[in-house]
Amino acid sequence: MIQFKPLRASSLPGVILVFSALLFVFADSVLAQRGVTYQQLRAQNAAPGLYLDHNVLLPTEGKTSEVWFNFRFGYDVLNFRQIPSSARTEQMPEDARFQARAELSMQIFKADSSFNPEQPERSNAILTLPWRGTAFSTDFDQTQKATLFLDGSLQTELEPGRYAYQPRITLDGRSVPLRRNIRYFTVPDPSEAFSKTLPVYFIESEERELSATDPNDFKLMNYGRSVLYGQNFSVLFPVPNADKNIRVVVDQLNVQSSDTTFRRNVFSEELDRNSHFLTGSRLSLRQTNDDIPYFRLQPASEGGQHFGYITIPNRKFENSSFRLRIIEDDKIIGERFFRSLWIDIPTSLLNIDVAISMMNIILERDQLRELRRGNEQERIRKFREFWSERDPEPETEYNPLMVEFFRRVDIAFDRFTTPNFAGYTTDQGKALIRNGEPDRVTRRLPAGSPAIEIWVYADREFIFEATSGFGEYRLIASNPR
């Protein structure tokens, strides 16, 4: 029988965000194997957030194409240092106590027969773009957050052709190696722009009144080639012929190494000319200081370029990899691959066996034994069925009850782990996982006796007694109120 009080308003996160880790259903073989411990997963789940992508804007008549390189650094990857009083300047925020510096240089190459991607330093870069940025933090906790970012961008104009680029990142004077060091893009010829694959821009979704007379601003989804798991997003793309039927299709993929195969269609909708079509004279990309970059569509007095704009119901999608296609009649005119990004994914969800083992806190022994039976796919299926039956939001793929439970496991590990015990195995850790954060905590230090800690909830109180000098407590009483 479950003894789990779900979804206390004080503890449920308002925004669910990811980096490279995927839910165990799509994890790599290392994370999917049996025998992995929570502690091993915890170390692998600490990958910092570095996000980088490029956007090519189709040129207006008589212009060359703009190319934007957009990037962001999670605060958890930056090297923050405390600001000495002697180093403070008027340009710093008054409440800033820590700062971190980041540098990025972008080398751009012609991707022709002379370019060697294995040794790009032997090729002649046609352009090098430099950038520097500084992030400030008001307290130490902020410096560790993967959900706070330093945003940046670089922009240039390029003639039509095939290009490669190599980013070099330095944080506080230290070079950062990148797993994918060389990336490619194509600048289309203006006369052939609509005969090639169209650019597809990912936009942060928000309720908006689209105007035909005022400029429309669209905030860029600045997470590299990813979108945020559990959140809807929008796509913006040029439409070559507004008289044709345009359909947006999203397919979920099975990913095996570099191979992607179709799994199932998860979204398909034809654009409505009244609600999904925009007309503008020019689409530009802008960034102010260190804010998130945004697209601006200038209105057209007459004529102008057509754009499609539609919201993708990503809240209903699994944490997986996908392919989005723009289809004109029966012809694919635009395509973009993307994957879910879950920045603060609970550690246990990276491995099915670790996830099931954590449920011993709320399940009887025979229930736990049943979940552990079968091969990996059978265990995953039973795990999903268990939480689906208790999902307070069954219309979405994201299950807040399941996430809250495993998030509490992480909190218990961080807060109550000692040299002798993992935090989720302690009496205090189990109480927090089952009941959430207490409404009030009081401590007593009786003379000549161990310290006492009392957790007060609306309907019950728990009394814990210290058993060592390492912060270990045992439950000595649980009283209804």
Residues 86 and 184 in one domain: yes
Read off the DSSP letter of residue 281.
S
- The pair of structure tokens assigned to 296 is 């601006």
Residues 225 and 340 in one domain: yes
- Using the structure block, give the residue that is written with the tokens 């000319």: 273
Altogether, the residues listed in the chain come to a count of 481
Lowest mean pLDDT among 144-153, 248-257, 452-461: 248-257
**Is 26 within the bounds of a domain?**
no
Sign of the Cα torsion 430, 433, 435, 438 reads positive
Q: How far is residue 126's CA from residue 137's CA, in Å, rounded to a whole number?
A: 37
Sign of the Cα torsion 412, 413, 414, 417 reads positive
Q: How far is residue 189's CA from residue 160's CA, in Å, rounded to a whole number?
A: 5
pLDDT value at residue 176: 85
Residues 449 and 402 in one domain: yes
- Expressed in angstroms, the distance from the first to the final Cα of the chain is 22
Average pLDDT over residues 205-210: 69
Q: What is the domain count for the chain?
A: 3
pLDDT value at residue 448: 84
Report H helices in 222-361. Answer: 352-358
pLDDT value at residue 256: 61
Residues 203 and 337 in one domain: yes
Judged against a pLDDT cut of 90, whether residue 379 lies above it is answered with: yes
Chain centroid offset of residue 346 CA: 13
| pLDDT classification of 196: cutoffs 50, 70, 90 | low
Residues 63 and 178 in one domain: yes
- The pair of structure tokens assigned to 223 is 């997470």
Average pLDDT along the chain: 85
Residues 379 and 340 in one domain: no
Residues 182 and 64 in one domain: yes
Q: Which of 168, 192, 216 is the last residue of a domain?
A: 192
pLDDT value at residue 18: 29
Residues 158 and 286 in one domain: no
Q: How far is residue 371's CA from residue 229's CA, in Å, rounded to a whole number?
A: 26
**Is 7 within the bounds of a domain?**
no
| pLDDT classification of 24: cutoffs 50, 70, 90 | very low
Lowest mean pLDDT among 48-52, 68-72, 196-200, 396-400: 196-200
Average pLDDT over residues 409-419: 93
**Is 403 within the bounds of a domain?**
yes
- The pair of structure tokens assigned to 123 is 């090729």
Lowest mean pLDDT among 142-156, 249-263, 375-389: 249-263
Q: Which of 344, 369, 394 is the last residue of a domain?
A: 344
pLDDT value at residue 211: 65
CATH number at residue 283: 2.60.40.10
pLDDT value at residue 21: 33
- Cα dist. 40→43, 55, 205, 346 in Å? 5, 37, 35, 13
**Is 217 within the bounds of a domain?**
yes
Under 8 Å between Cβ of 434 and 3: yes
Residues 93 and 176 in one domain: yes
Residue 88 burial (CB count, 10 A): 12
Average pLDDT over residues 383-403: 91
- Using the structure block, give the residue that is written with the tokens 């936009």: 203
Average pLDDT over residues 301-325: 89
CATH number at residue 178: 2.60.40
pLDDT value at residue 20: 30
| pLDDT classification of 23: cutoffs 50, 70, 90 | very low
pTM as predicted: 0.78
pLDDT, tens digit (0-9, with 9 covering 90-100), for 219-246: 999 999 899 988 999 999 998 888 899 9
Judged against a pLDDT cut of 50, whether residue 31 lies above it is answered with: no
140 Ramachandran zone, left/alpha/beta (phi>0; psi -120 to 50) = alpha
80, 77, 90: which is closest to 20 by C-alpha? 77
Under 8 Å between Cβ of 474 and 416: no
**Is 18 within the bounds of a domain?**
no
**Is 1 within the bounds of a domain?**
no
Judged against a pLDDT cut of 60, whether residue 149 lies above it is answered with: yes
Average pLDDT over residues 257-280: 85
Average pLDDT over residues 28-34: 48
Residues 177 and 224 in one domain: no
Average pLDDT over residues 347-376: 93
Residues 290 and 185 in one domain: no
Residue 226 burial (CB count, 10 A): 20
- The pair of structure tokens assigned to 177 is 């190696």
193 Ramachandran zone, left/alpha/beta (phi>0; psi -120 to 50) = alpha
pLDDT value at residue 61: 64
| pLDDT classification of 290: cutoffs 50, 70, 90 | low
142, 141, 146: which is closest to 18 by C-alpha? 146
**Is 9 within the bounds of a domain?**
no
| pLDDT classification of 126: cutoffs 50, 70, 90 | very high
Average pLDDT over residues 194-207: 79
Residue type, 293: P
pLDDT, tens digit (0-9, with 9 covering 90-100), for 40-94: 888 776 656 889 999 999 776 667 889 999 999 999 899 999 999 888 888 898 8
| pLDDT classification of 13: cutoffs 50, 70, 90 | very low
Read off the DSSP letter of residue 35.
T
- The pair of structure tokens assigned to 33 is 């194997």
Range of the domain at 163: 51-192
**Is 22 within the bounds of a domain?**
no
Q: How far is residue 251's CA from residue 265's CA, in Å, rounded to a whole number?
A: 4
- The pair of structure tokens assigned to 401 is 């009850």
Q: Which of 344, 377, 405 is the last residue of a domain?
A: 344
Read off the DSSP letter of residue 123.
S
Residues 117 and 86 in one domain: yes
